Structure 1
Amino acid sequence: MVTFHHTDASTPEESWLDAGVGQLPLLDARLLAGASRVVVLAAHPDDELLGCAALLAETERLGVDTVAILFTGGENSHPRSPTVTPEQLAELRAAEFEALSGALFPSARTVHPGLTDGRVAESPEAVRDALDAALAGCDAARAVVVSPRHDDGHPDHETLGEAALAAGRALGATVLEYPIWYWHWAGPEDARWRSWVRLPDPAGLDRDALWALYPTQTRPLSPAPGDEAIVQPDFLAHFLRGFETFEVTQTDRNEAAQAHRDEAALAHPDAARVFDQVHQDDDPWRTYTSAYEARKRATLIGLLKEARGGRVPGSDESELGRGAGADDGGSDGASADADRPYARAFEIGCSVGALTGDLTRISERVLAVDASAEALEQAQAKQGGRAGVEFRQMLVPESWPEGSFDLIVLSETGYYLTEADLRATFAKIAASASGGGAVVALCHWRGDIEGWPLDAAAVHRMARETWPGERVASHEDPDFLIDLFDIAGPSGR
């Protein structure tokens, strides 16, 4: 184990920055968004602020189930203090931790095993029991355990790091190790840091204000020798750099868990943020200008019209395929006829509204939803002037509209859902079919889908398994799949 003292000169922060620590790759945001639970291990009060304040702020923002385990009271941080006893210091530091947790991660559960500061290694069973209890009742393969590094140079830190890695190996949990004293005693020539990732501080994280909650560590307890501040300014500089670093460890067992985690990424309300970022660009998939998009929508609308019989208004591809902007004119709200055979359509995942515009040609009313407010703003601008169109922000299947529909469309959206959420979506679709039944339309690109739970083949296979006898039309283009199902309403026909 490395030997050092907190009063030793710390490696200059400029050395770390010049070496490129600020250019490390980013932590995959899906790791936290898809976690079943995040368990944070801290040996002493302030370890959580030193090593993972940004992470705790992010789990709080995401609403991820979080447990913070503070193993000791930090009572021996000033062993030669002539003014404060260890018992008194434990009380002071407990109050500091309480204030910090209330400010940074108020929704997390906190656990205090009450081990002795500096002697955590003497209680391996207590460490293991606390970690097991924190992980109980969750999908451990999707859990994230956050701990000090197993080679940080402090015996308490290293004990927790080793316990976290053992849990990761045993349960398939992902382990994020955070360095604390490493920045103090190591230098850029030590290559370990080059394989780590970083997590930027989220907006609003005020580290100076948070450090003001730990005066026993940042200020002298008194002018007397032995009461010096533990966190010296040159050491603290490593933790005011605007980001944190972690080593990510995922065992072989965790490969399956990673796939599950990727599936869960967009089941989380954070999907709105993900797609808001995508829609910073105007029409990111070029749905209004792409020949592929025009051909796909023309084929889909033609099949939907045939499913109910009749002519498609504007059925030449020059008009139909281009998503009919608001300036093209819209439905006058007349009653359903041969040209507009559907009464109420529900479009799941409308993006910027290109297909929505085409659906108004065959349905009197269209409710179009998307997780992204940015997407809906573009859709409203392009299609909001059309009669019978309503846009809503909604994350399916967690949220679902009221009422029934005789047309429900899932286009280029199914592969963003987990298998469980797609099945839940199908169940809600079935429950939302109008009394006379509904046509359910699925349309998806057949290309490789990287980083998402499913692909077109999987989505359509699941739909065919859900409604094995109700498929009324299919189209297998080299670029896309379309399936139409004519399903009965909840009470049957």
Structure 2
Amino acid sequence: MSVDAQYFAGLFAASDDPWAFRTRWYERRKRELIMASLPRQFHERIFEPACANGELSAALAERCTELLCHDLDPTAVTLARQRLASLPHVRVEQGRLPGDWPGGRFDLIVLSEIGYYLDPGQWLQVIEQSVASLTEDGGLLACHWLHPIDGCPQQGREVHALLEQRLPLYRVVRHEEADFLLEYWSCQPSVIDLDETCP
């Protein structure tokens, strides 16, 4: 992580919801779009780094057997653990990317609002780690703010440009608005379960 940990410590010292995930319509709507963009109804194992206070995590938890959440900031980890305490299939750990990448395989990795906090080299490492950790039918969802953020080594478009250049996956969803870009990439060219479709 290129941005200093004190940056996030300061945000969480001032508020338990520094980005207003719980109260802003923008954040609620974006969260619902993220969930609607997942082509599969259910996942076995999801990894969500940069989980913050766990608002998106709570929605992801409804769609999986196991959810692993990470955050760099210890206060965020505590808040997310409190938010998700009633869900035994969810683990929240403190971790700093790219160094603290978890073991095992995932059929969904969610990289939401994290890429611009990493320099290009670190982001490329996260991309490589993601690809190596996906199951053969797995997918990666990325969503990032498109406006400049002071102090960040990358902007949202640069983050997604590197995904497009380096991901050896199939992009099956792309949703762009003035404020954010959301994409879903799959290991398979189609994520439709043929057993669930009409003849």
Q: TM-score, normalised by structure 1?
A: 0.37
Matched, 1:347 2:48: yes
Would you say the 8 A contact 1:384–1:390 is kept in 2? no
Give the fraction of aligned pairs with identical amino acids, expressed as a percent: 33
Please name the residue that 2:193 is paired with.
none
Secondary structure in structure 2 of the residue aligned to 1:381: helix
User: Pick from 272, 292, 300: which aligns with 2:5?
Assistant: 272
Please name the residue that 1:391 is paired with.
92
Q: Could you list the per-position Cα deviations for residues 216-262 of structure 1 after superposition, in whole angstroms to 9, with x for gaps in the alignment?
A: xxxxxxxxxxxxxxxxxxxxxxxxxxxxxxxxxxxxxxxxxxxxxxx
2: CA distance between counterparts of 1:296 and 1:370? 20
Please name the residue that 2:17 is paired with.
283
RMSD: 1.5
Please name the residue that 1:215 is paired with.
none
Please name the residue that 2:26 is paired with.
292
Would you say the 8 A contact 1:272–1:373 is kept in 2? no
User: Pick from 402, 419, 427: which aligns with 2:128?
Assistant: 427
| Structure 2 CA distance for partners of 1:265 and 1:402, relative to 1, 3 Å | closer
Point out the structure with the larger helix share: 1
Would you say the 8 A contact 2:174–2:183 is kept in 1? yes
Q: Please give the residue correspondences for 1:2-151 in structure 2 after superposition, counting only pairs within 5 Å.
A: none
| Structure 2 CA distance for partners of 1:477 and 1:399, relative to 1, 3 Å | same
Please name the residue that 2:73 is paired with.
372
Q: Could you list the per-position Cα deviations for residues 93-152 of structure 1 after superposition, in whole angstroms to 9, with x for gaps in the alignment?
A: xxxxxxxxxxxxxxxxxxxxxxxxxxxxxxxxxxxxxxxxxxxxxxxxxxxxxxxxxxxx
Please name the residue that 2:141 is paired with.
441
Q: Could you list the per-position Cα deviations for residues 336-361 of structure 1 after superposition, in whole angstroms to 9, with x for gaps in the alignment?
A: xxx4x200000011011110001012
Would you say the 8 A contact 2:127–2:167 is kept in 1? no
Q: Could you list the per-position Cα deviations for residues 148-183 of structure 1 after superposition, in whole angstroms to 9, with x for gaps in the alignment?
A: xxxxxxxxxxxxxxxxxxxxxxxxxxxxxxxxxxxx
Would you say the 8 A contact 1:347–1:410 is kept in 2? yes
Return the offset for 1:265. 3.8
Matched, 1:405 2:109: no
> Bigger CA drift: 439-448 or 463-472?
463-472
Matched, 1:381 2:114: no
- Supply the AA of the counterpart residue of 1:283: D
| Structure 2 CA distance for partners of 1:469 and 1:353, relative to 1, 3 Å | closer
1: CA distance between counterparts of 2:124 and 2:137? 19
| Structure 2 CA distance for partners of 1:359 and 1:469, relative to 1, 3 Å | closer
**Bigger radius of gyration:** 1
Q: Could you list the per-position Cα deviations for residues 441-472 of structure 1 after superposition, in whole angstroms to 9, with x for gaps in the alignment?
A: 00011222121011111111110111265111
Secondary structure in structure 1 of the residue aligned to 2:178: coil
2: CA distance between counterparts of 1:402 and 1:469? 21
1: CA distance between counterparts of 2:5 and 2:151? 17
- Supply the AA of the counterpart residue of 1:293: E
Please name the residue that 2:196 is paired with.
none
1: CA distance between counterparts of 2:161 and 2:119? 14
Secondary structure in structure 1 of the residue aligned to 2:141: strand
Point out the structure with the larger strand share: 2
Secondary structure in structure 1 of the residue aligned to 2:106: coil
Matched, 1:453 2:153: yes
- Supply the AA of the counterpart residue of 1:461: A
- Supply the AA of the counterpart residue of 1:289: T
Matched, 1:477 2:159: no
| Structure 2 CA distance for partners of 1:473 and 1:284, relative to 1, 3 Å | same
Matched, 1:302 2:39: no
2: CA distance between counterparts of 1:433 and 1:265? 25
Unaligned runs of 5+ in 1: 1-263, 309-338, 489-493
Q: TM-score, normalised by structure 2?
A: 0.89
Please name the residue that 1:177 is paired with.
none
Secondary structure in structure 2 of the residue aligned to 1:274: helix
2: CA distance between counterparts of 1:265 and 1:462? 17
> Bigger CA drift: 447-456 or 291-300?
447-456
- Supply the AA of the counterpart residue of 2:115: G
1: CA distance between counterparts of 2:2 and 2:43? 34
2: CA distance between counterparts of 1:473 and 1:424? 23
Return the offset for 1:273. 3.2
1: CA distance between counterparts of 2:130 and 2:114? 14
